[in-house]
């Protein structure tokens, strides 16, 4: 992870092919990441082409990152491909923040559908 306690890798999934290069990409969740606020969480998208080129990678230089909305959301607790939801030929992404409060209910949770290209 980027920092101690991020819990990077708590959730890991294929992202499907989000960039149309024919290779499956990777999603990595870090639900305790504090980039935006304490425990807001963060999810990383790493393109297969980045791994192939470098042979390894750092989450600090991931191809894309999605940060939780508020403290304690734990965004990235679950990450997954959604398949090609909108029919554009690129796979889309799902991310969960199980402790998000945006509905006005404490810890009601929230899921995010991110359409590619991200």
Percent of the chain with pLDDT over 70: 99
pTM of this prediction exceeds 0.85: yes
- Contact between 109 and 43 under an 8 Å Cβ cutoff? The reply is no
Tell me the pLDDT of the chain averaged across its residues: 95
pLDDT exceeds cutoff 90 at 102: no
Q: Can you give the pLDDT at residue 60? A: 92
| CB within 8 Å of 108: residues ≥ 6 apart | 100, 101, 102
Q: Can you give the pLDDT at residue 58? A: 87
Indicate the Cα dihedral angle 22, 30, 59, 4, nearest 10°.
Answer: -160
Mean per-residue pLDDT for 36-59?
Answer: 89
CA distance 59 to 3: 10
Q: Can you give the pLDDT at residue 5? A: 94
pLDDT exceeds cutoff 80 at 74: yes
- Backbone phi, then psi, for 49, in 5-degree steps? -65, -30
**DSSP 3-state of 54:** helix
CA distance 15 to 46: 9
pLDDT exceeds cutoff 90 at 16: yes
DSSP strand E in 1-109: where?
11-16, 25-30, 42-46, 64-67, 78-83, 92-97
């Amino acid at each position: 992870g980027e920092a101690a306690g991020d819990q990077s890798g708590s959730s890991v999934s294929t992202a499907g092919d989000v960039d149309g290069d024919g290779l499956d990409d990777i999603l990595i969740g870090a639900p305790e990441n504090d980039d935006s606020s304490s425990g807001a969480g963060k999810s990383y998208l790493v393109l297969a082409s980045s791994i192939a080129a470098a042979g390894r990678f750092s989450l600090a230089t991931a191809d894309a990152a999605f940060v939780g909305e508020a403290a304690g959301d734990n965004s990235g607790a679950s990450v997954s491909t959604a398949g090609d939801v909108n029919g554009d030929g690129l796979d889309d992404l799902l991310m969960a923040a199980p402790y998000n409060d945006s509905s006005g209910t404490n810890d009601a949770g929230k899921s995010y559908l991110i359409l590619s290209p991200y």
